[in-house]
Homo-oligomer: A and B are copies of this chain.
Amino acid sequence: MKIGIIGGTGDQGLGLALRFVKCGEEVIIGSRDVKKAENAVNLVINMLKSEEITTIKGMTNQEAAEEADLLLLTVPLQAQMATLKSIKDHLDDKILVDATVPLESCLGGRPDRYVDLWEGSGVERTSNFLKDKNVRVVSAFNNISAASLTNIEENVECDCLVSGDNQEAKLEVMALAEKIPDVKAIDCGPLENARIVEKITPLLIHINILNRIKLAGIRITGLPPRK
């Protein structure tokens, strides 16, 4: 499966690229500027300390969207709509995973506060914008910090809370998330439940600030053992 990371030059995108390349997936980093995408590719290769990696490349967002099978949207909220507009004609029959978090910092405010969006959540905003397109939208990776993803020598001590209305797409994203060592994917129900999941991130950021750390995450406990 080819994973296209749209807006993949930011911390979150880079971190996910690192993790997915490391576990053997084929990754395309997308950016508005192909040079930035190529720089990000080099950064990933350097961080993995291997020059033999051929499973990652950089492209424009449109090219990445066209070529990949599954897309991860990792842009800040203020770039969400413009980015979606630029790739909307390249999404046919694909899964789009939105990791957007509506932090107040997107509006010049604080990263430990959320803003309320008309649609209820960032991912529902995406889903609403793409409602006439043949694309399955899933919410995931919102709570896993970039610091944790890029801390490549360590496993990721955080669950991946996944919400979506298409069960098949959700299961595919959950399986992908669990390729990252120690990540457990948790089915959180329909897409609208991302209203809660997205809001957990500013709380984790607050806990990070209070404790002068960067790796706060969450685990869901009390689940039955897996079959």
Contacts and interface: CB of A to CB of B under 8 A. Distances in A.
Interface residues of A, number: 35
Number of copies: 2
A50 interface: no
A140 to B, nearest CB: 14
Interface stretch (A6-14, A38-46, A71-79, A185-193): A185-193
Secondary structure of the A side of the interface?
A: mixed
Contact of A114 (B196, B210, B216): B196
A220 interface: yes
A22 interface: no
Interface string A211-227: 10101111111111000
A217 B221 contact: yes
Contact of A218 (B145, B195, B211, B221): B221
A84 interface: no
Nearest to A197: B203
Contact of A189 (B161, B186, B206): B206
A194 to B, nearest CB: 10
Nearest to A189: B206
Nearest to A222: B215
Given A161-B203, A189-B206, A219-B219, 17 more contacts: A112-B193, A148-B222, A157-B222, A187-B207, A188-B206, A188-B207, A197-B203, A199-B199, A200-B200, A211-B223, A211-B224, A213-B223, A213-B224, A215-B221, A217-B220, A217-B222, A218-B221
